[in-house]
Structure 1
């Protein structure tokens, strides 16, 4: 009787995909830091910075999500990691969009919901980047 194993394979992200994915973290982190600065100083310009950083983060995250969807279609049917990656990116983009709508309000009205949403989106972006940039993908072994 022969044992069949699915070998581990390396799946390196496309350089453009990796750049877009890695670009989401500093943009959403900048949003969080701008919200913290606004929360402490109440200078409206910090809220404006946060709005622009969210817009940039949504562009980068949306394009990385397109790459992730293509990778999901090409992935092994039994591997769940690409699906988790796509779902994390999708959750990051959706909550980032809700955060953009929250920041579209008057600057005084964005706190504290905007700060909490920025923290959640930053954590989701970090988790998605962690999963997306890991090189070793293992197949199912049965």
Structure 2
């Protein structure tokens, strides 16, 4: 039997939206790992790396958020609830990432432990958003 993709309750992402959604998770995860490295070594460059990774995640994540808003506005009533949840998860990710970037803009010795917590929450939200975004098709066995 061959596995085929059939449409579930949601349709798949547009290819450009999928590309934009691919960036926030690794960038926020990199910021989280940089925060862990800073916490263990107190080398200021790790805090700088984290700030740049957050800026990249916010920049690309902002375009993914904009695309999700447009998709929410254009979605029909059958897809509206899922599109709204997806949009609000992306919005929460972006807002917490922005707050984390503000925390990272402080003196390097003053960012812990808030920066670590905010980066962790933003990474989890980016994972949830990616999971929701890429789960448009479900595979099942064809007879």
If the length of structure 2 is used for normalisation, what is the TM-score? 0.87
Q: Are 1:47 and 2:47 an aligned pair?
A: yes
Displaced runs of 4+ in structure 1, greater than 6 A? Answer: none
Match of 1:17 in 2: 17
Q: CA RMSD for the aligned pairs? A: 1.6
**Matched pairs, number:** 131
Match of 2:60 in 1: 60
Shift of 1:73: 1.2
Q: Are 1:70 and 2:70 an aligned pair?
A: yes
Relative to its length, the structure with more strand (as a share) is: 2
Match of 1:90 in 2: 91
Q: In 2 relative to 1, CA 25–112 (structure 1 residues): closer, same or farther, beyond 3 Å?
A: same
Q: In 2 relative to 1, CA 127–9 (structure 1 residues): closer, same or farther, beyond 3 Å?
A: closer
Shift of 1:89: 0.4
State the alpha-carbon separation in 2 of the partners of residues 133 and 8 from structure 1: 12
Alpha-carbon contact 2:65-2:87 (below 8 Å) kept: yes
* Deviations, residues 38-70 of structure 1 (Å, cap 9, x unaligned): 000000000000000000000111000111011
State the alpha-carbon separation in 2 of the partners of residues 74 and 19 from structure 1: 20
State the alpha-carbon separation in 2 of the partners of residues 109 and 117 from structure 1: 14
> Per the alignment, in what secondary structure is the counterpart of residue 12 of structure 1?
coil
Unaligned runs of 5+ in 1: 1-6, 138-142
Question: Mean alpha-carbon deviation: is it higher for 74-83 or for 97-106?
Answer: 74-83
* Deviations, residues 92-128 of structure 1 (Å, cap 9, x unaligned): 0001000000000000000000000000000000001
